[in-house]
C-alpha cells in the first residue's frame, strides 16, 4: 500500500465526520428552509416563501427587538462586571484563589437550574428579592409578571454568570508589563490614571473578543428565557420564537429560515464590530 493511501485512511474518520455531522446538516438546513415541512410528512418545496414571510411577520420584529434591546444592556454589563472582578482579584494575597473560584463557579452551573432558581427569586409574592425589599420597607415590583419589569429581571440574571470571562481577563492582566506600572508610580500617577492609560488600552483586544462572544450569546439566548418567560410576551427572545415556530406550530421550514436569518444578523454584527476595531483596539 502506498504511503499516500495510508495517509488518506488516517484522515478518513475525520473526513467522514465532517461530511455526516457538518456538511450534510448544513446542506439539509438550506433545503429545509425552502420547504413547507411540519416534521412529520413530506416536505413541500416553496422556494424563498419562508424568507418573504419572515419579513412580513410581526413576531419576527418583536422578538428581534426584545433580543437586541437586551443585548444593548447585557453586553456592556457583563463585560464591566467581569473586568471589575478580575481587576479586584488580580493580586497574590492569601485566599485570592478561593475567591476566584467562588466568582467563577456560577458561570458553569446549568442554565436550566439557574432559570428555575431565579424564577423563584423574582416571584413577586414569595420570592427572595421582594422579601429582602420588604424588610427595608420597600414594595418590590412584579418583575416577570409586569411587562415593564421583564427586561430588568433578565438583566439581574446577567450578574449571576457575568464572571464567565474572569480568567481570560486575569490572564490578560498578568501579561501587562509591570515596568509600565512602576514608571507610572514614579511619576505619581494615581490608580485610576494607571487603569485608564495602561490597563484599559492593553486589555482592549480581550474586550473586543468578549464583545463579539457576548453578542453571539445574547442573540442565542434561549434556556432561561424559555423557562422564565415574561408577561406580555416580553420574554419571547428570538430563539424562543424560533423554537415555538418549530416545535409548537410545527413549521420546521419557517424555523430553519429564521435560523439562517439569525446567522446573517450575527455575521453582520460581528463584521460591524470588527470594522470599529482599528479605532479603539490597541495593537503593538
**What pLDDT digit, counting tens, does each position of 269-278 carry?**
999 999 999 8
pLDDT score for 225: 94
- 101 φ, ψ to 5°? -65, -45
Domains of the chain: 49-280 (1.10.3720.10)
Output the average pLDDT for the chain: 90
Strand residue runs (E) in the chain: 35-36, 44-45
Whats the size of the chain, residue-wise? 284
pLDDT score for 107: 77
Residue that is written with C-alpha cell 410528512 in the block: 41
Burial class (CB in 10 A: 0-12, 13-18, 19+), 262: middle
pLDDT digits (tens, 9 = 90+) for 48-76: 999 999 999 999 999 999 999 999 999 99
- Residue 138 pLDDT > 60, yes or no? yes
pLDDT interval class at 222 (50, 70, 90): very high
Beta-bridge partner residues of 45: 35
- Residue 213 pLDDT > 60, yes or no? yes
- Residue 6 pLDDT > 60, yes or no? yes
The continuous run of DSSP H or E covering 139 comes out as none
| Cell triple for 175 | 501579561
Q: Helix, strand or coil for residue 282?
A: coil
Give the whole-angstrom CA distance, residue 211 versus residue 165. 11
Give the whole-angstrom CA distance, residue 237 versus residue 218. 9
What percent of the chain lies above the pLDDT cut of 90?
A: 57
Contact of 189 with 197, CB cutoff 8 Å: yes
pLDDT score for 2: 64
Give the whole-angstrom CA distance, residue 50 versus residue 41. 18
Q: Helix, strand or coil for residue 147?
A: helix
pLDDT interval class at 250 (50, 70, 90): very high
Average pLDDT of span 174-183: 87
- 187 φ, ψ to 5°? -80, -5
Helices 166-174, 96-104: crossing angle, 10 deg rounding: 140
- Residue 110 pLDDT > 80, yes or no? no
CA distances from 259 to 124, 247, 267 (A): 35, 14, 12
| Cell triple for 250 | 410545527
- Residue 1 pLDDT > 60, yes or no? no
Torsion 147-149-152-153 (CA) sign? negative
- Residue 216 pLDDT > 90, yes or no? yes
CA angle 268, 270, 272 (to 5 degrees): 65
Model-level pTM? 0.90
Lowest mean pLDDT among 91-105, 172-186, 197-211: 91-105
Average pLDDT of span 179-199: 87
Average pLDDT of span 150-158: 92
pLDDT score for 184: 87
Average pLDDT of span 23-41: 92
Average pLDDT of span 22-26: 92
Amino acid at each position: 500500500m502506498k504511503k499516500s493511501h495510508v495517509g488518506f485512511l488516517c484522515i478518513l474518520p475525520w473526513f467522514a465526520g465532517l461530511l455526516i455531522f457538518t456538511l450534510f446538516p448544513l446542506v439539509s438546513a438550506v433545503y429545509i428552509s425552502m420547504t413547507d415541512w411540519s416534521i412529520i410528512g413530506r416536505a413541500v418545496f416553496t422556494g424563498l416563501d419562508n424568507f418573504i414571510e419572515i419579513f412580513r411577520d410581526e413576531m419576527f420584529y418583536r422578538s428581534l427587538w426584545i433580543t437586541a434591546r437586551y443585548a444593548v444592556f447585557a453586553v456592556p454589563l457583563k463585560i464591566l462586571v467581569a473586568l471589575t472582578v478580575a481587576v479586584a482579584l488580580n493580586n497574590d494575597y492569601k485566599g485570592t484563589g478561593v475567591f476566584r473560584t467562588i466568582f467563577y463557579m456560577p458561570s458553569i452551573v446549568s442554565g436550566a437550574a439557574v432559570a428555575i432558581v431565579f424564577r423563584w427569586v423574582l416571584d413577586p409574592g414569595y420570592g427572595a428579592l421582594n422579601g429582602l425589599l420588604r424588610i427595608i420597607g420597600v414594595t418590590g415590583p412584579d418583575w416577570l409578571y409586569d411587562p415593564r419589569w421583564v427586561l430588568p429581571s433578565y438583566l439581574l440574571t446577567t450578574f449571576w454568570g457575568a464572571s464567565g470571562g474572569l480568567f481570560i481577563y486575569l490572564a490578560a492582566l498578568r501579561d501587562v508589563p509591570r515596568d509600565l506600572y512602576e514608571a507610572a508610580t514614579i511619576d505619581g500617577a494615581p490608580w485610576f490614571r494607571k487603569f485608564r492609560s495602561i490597563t484599559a488600552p492593553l486589555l482592549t483586544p480581550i474586550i473586543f473578543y468578549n464583545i463579539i462572544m457576548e453578542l453571539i450569546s445574547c442573540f442565542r439566548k434561549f434556556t432561561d428565557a424559555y423557562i422564565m418567560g415574561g408577561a406580555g410576551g416580553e420574554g419571547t427572545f428570538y430563539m424562543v420564537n424560533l423554537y415555538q415556530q418549530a416545535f409548537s406550530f410545527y413549521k420546521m421550514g419557517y424555523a430553519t429560515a429564521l435560523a439562517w436569518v439569525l446567522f446573517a444578523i450575527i455575521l453582520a454584527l460581528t463584521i460591524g464590530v470588527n470594522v470599529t476595531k482599528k479605532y479603539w483596539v490597541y495593537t503593538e
